[in-house]
Amino acid sequence: MSQLALALLHYPVLDRQGRVITTAVTNLDLHDLARTGRTYGISRLYVVTPVAGQRDLAGRILGHWREGFGAAYNPDRREAFSRVEVAPTLGEAIAAWRPLAGAEPLPVLTGARRSDGISFEACRELARTRPLMLVFGTGWGLAPELFDQGWPVLAPVRGRSDYNHLPVRAAAAIILDRLCGEAD
């Protein structure tokens, strides 16, 4: 597999009424996605929010675990957080990752309510030829404007019931396992 990055978008995402909003950065998302990403060998996790105060908050959390007391207290967490960056827009996250990836990254969108997604196998094939950035939305998912970009959409994770509203951390873990996990 070529290089793989994740982007956790806090804007543009939807609220439960389908309005485009900005969501808040959460400590739990940062911790869980950083650790999950490190476990599956992602190159970077980009936390994307246009709100300066939210970027500052994410920076303080990262600083605690990279250089502060937390770095000495939990070196494994320091290692996981070493791959996290904060960006104001998805475009800036892609631009930041481009030189690290060594080629033009292809965003691959995710969405639980999508029916037009490519299979996990097709996504693995894409990843063999170019760097991918898996894009996850907070709130109630990515805003429609992102799907108008012509980027591939990954088939949603589905359970055995008609209920399909996983937390973003769980969806990311399942998707990374299907794309990067050990084969049975």
Query: Over the stretch 79-121, which tens digit does the pLDDT of each residue have?
Result: 999 999 999 999 999 999 999 999 999 999 999 888 888 999 9
Considering the entire predicted model, what is its pTM?
Answer: 0.94
How many Å apart are CA 168 and CA 157, to the nearest integer?
Answer: 11
The proportion of the chain whose per-residue pLDDT surpasses 90, expressed as a percent, equals 88
Query: Is the CATH code 3.40.1280.10 the one for domain 4-180?
Result: yes
Where exactly are the structural domains of the chain?
A: 4-180
Question: 128 CB contacts (<8 Å, ≥6 apart)?
Answer: 1, 2
pLDDT over threshold 70, residue 184: no
Residue 1 — very low, low, confident or very high, per pLDDT cuts 50/70/90?
Answer: low
Question: Looking at residue 36, what is its pLDDT?
Answer: 97
pLDDT at 116: 86
Q: What's the confidence (pLDDT) of residue 63?
A: 95
